[in-house]
Amino acid sequence: MNNLNQVDQSIISELSKYDSATVQNASILVRGYINHTDDYSGPTLTQYMESKKTIVGYALTSKWTPLYEKKGVDDKKLDFFDNIFKMKIPVISVLSDVESTPNRGAIMGDGMAYQMKSLGSVGVIVGGNARDIKGIQEANLPLWATGHVPGHGPFKMIEHGTTVQVADLTINQGDILVCDFDGVTRVEINILNDVIKMCKEVRKKEKTLHKYFSMKVSTKEWENWKKNNN
């Protein structure tokens, strides 16, 4: 676990000053457009607990089966929790439902939320269902999930540290994830510093636009804007 390409905590803190949309815009300016599945989450992902700030952290990935007994398959849940504890940096736990009948049982609950929060998770992203939503909120662990149900069957975590798909976004172990009300933007570690610089430029440009159009513009002002932004 310690072989993840870790970045300084100050960089994570700086990135958390910006929302996921601003970070996505800045990333485009740094490396151009990429496939949406490598860039940001789709509309099926919902934020179930609001946070006062953008949540940023390293992705620790895992795959779960919540419905049917898996004979001969070890439950690696404690290994996954142990990895969260060992990281000692901001971690976002990423859970993916890989059951033969996916998105039917819950793979995240309030007991797990308390454990993850205590061990070092700053948020959890679920490609599947959560349950005990009120309990997760009481645990104060920011949650994003593609659904919620009240139950599950035989329950195992069968794999961790591998690539997963959540809401049409591919997430790798160690990716930097920027999470808020809009969803999740994925940032590659090797462009983090450049993305932060461009976030400042994006915000400056947007602030200028918002100010210009905060009141009804005249014909002259509108023509000037079109001329300067063509």
The tens digit of pLDDT for each residue in 57-87 reads: 999 999 999 998 877 777 889 999 999 999 9
Per-residue model confidence as pLDDT tens digits over 142-192: 999 999 999 999 999 999 999 999 999 999 999 999 999 999 999 999 999
Burial label, 26 (beta-carbon count in 10 A; 0-12, 13-18, 19+): buried
Give me the domain span that covers residue 127. Answer: 9-199
Contact present, 184 and 169 (Cβ < 8 Å)? yes
3-class DSSP assignment, residue 161? coil
Asked if residue 214 belongs to a domain, the reply is: no
Residue with tokens 């662990």: 141
For residue 68, give the CATH number of its domain.
Answer: 3.50.30.40
Contact present, 176 and 58 (Cβ < 8 Å)? yes
Determine which of 16-30, 64-78, 84-98, 118-132 has the lowest per-residue pLDDT on average.
64-78
Asked if residue 115 belongs to a domain, the reply is: yes
pLDDT-derived band at 7 (thresholds 50, 70, 90) equals confident
Asked if residue 155 belongs to a domain, the reply is: yes
Asked if residue 135 belongs to a domain, the reply is: yes
Contacts of 197 (CB under 8 A, 6+ apart): none
List C-alpha distances in Å: 26 to 55, 144, 177: 17, 23, 14
Asked if residue 2 belongs to a domain, the reply is: no
